[in-house]
Amino acid sequence: MSPDGLGMQGATSVSPDGASFLYSQRTDRGNYDLMIRGLSDNTTTPFRTSEASETDARFSPDGKLVAFVTDETGRNEVVIAAFPSGAATPVSTAGGTTPRWSANGRELLYVAADGELMAVPVRPVRRRRSGTP
């Protein structure tokens, strides 16, 4: 790691099948992107890259979704996206951090901007949606 923190990395979640893990990597723009590292072939591929920071990614128990935090709106918000690639769906509505899945993957917990612990149902439908916190 360089003295200015560029390239700094932090692993956040291993896939349920143990084939890969997600990590945040600091970019030369000063933000963080989400990367996927394959454990069997040592390959690295981007999961989320943008001008915003994406951090604290967590695989769902079935490995089909990833919850993470983005500051794309100007404040930290929790979103979910299909794995390995898919459009992000907002979960938090007034700021949020620290997403964690319930054991069965039917709820996503996070900490709201006011410090309250929130639980959001995640319903499996044709296009996954999240419920209201």
pLDDT in tens, 41-82: 999 999 999 999 999 999 999 999 999 999 999 999 999 999
**Which tokens in the block code for residue 74?**
């100007």
How far is residue 57's CA from residue 99's CA, in Å, rounded to a whole number? Answer: 8
Average pLDDT of the chain?
89
Burial (0-12, 13-18, 19+ Cβ within 10 Å), 132? exposed
How far is residue 32's CA from residue 22's CA, in Å, rounded to a whole number? Answer: 12
Q: Which of 16-20, 48-52, 124-128 has the lowest mean pLDDT?
A: 124-128
Which one is predicted more confidently, 93 or 108? Answer: 108
What are the φ and ψ backbone dihedral angles of 117, each rounded to 5 degrees?
Answer: -80, 125
Which one is predicted more confidently, 20 or 132? Answer: 20
Give the CATH superfamily of 9-130.
TolB, C-terminal domain (2.120.10.30)
Report the pLDDT value the prediction gives residue 110, as an integer from 0 to 100.
98
